[in-house]
Amino acid sequence: MDGIQVSRQSRPMSTPTPLPDNTACPRCGGGFHCGVEDGWCACFGTRLGEDLKQDLATRWPGRCLCLRCLTELARQDPGSHVPDAPGTAGPLPLC
């Protein structure tokens, strides 16, 4: 390769936008895994009211909460619905 110079300058590579750090809950600090990028997350069955959605987006923008914290907040919000866990359809009748 006499007389030919090869440039070895690095070009800026486009890097994908990093996903939010969803390995620790920003509310309680507990560890968890958000499965939204996996195609299924435990929170998918929980319906959040519009007021709660706005509050979460304001307090923790771009972050996910662990299921325990999300459930706790959703149960306090009249516009939200948290499904019963399997096998816990409600209180057992008293005999």
Query: 25-76 pLDDT, tens per residue?
Result: 999 999 988 888 888 888 888 999 999 999 999 999 989 999 999 999 999 9
| pTM of full prediction above 0.85 | no
* Residue 83 to residue 43: CA distance in whole angstroms: 10
Beta bridge partners of 81: 47
Domain boundaries defined on the chain: 21-82
Tokens of 54: 């706005």
Q: Which residues of 54-93 are buried (b: 16+ CB within 10 A; e: fewer)?
A: eebeeeeeebbbbbebbbebbeebeebebeeeeeeeeeee
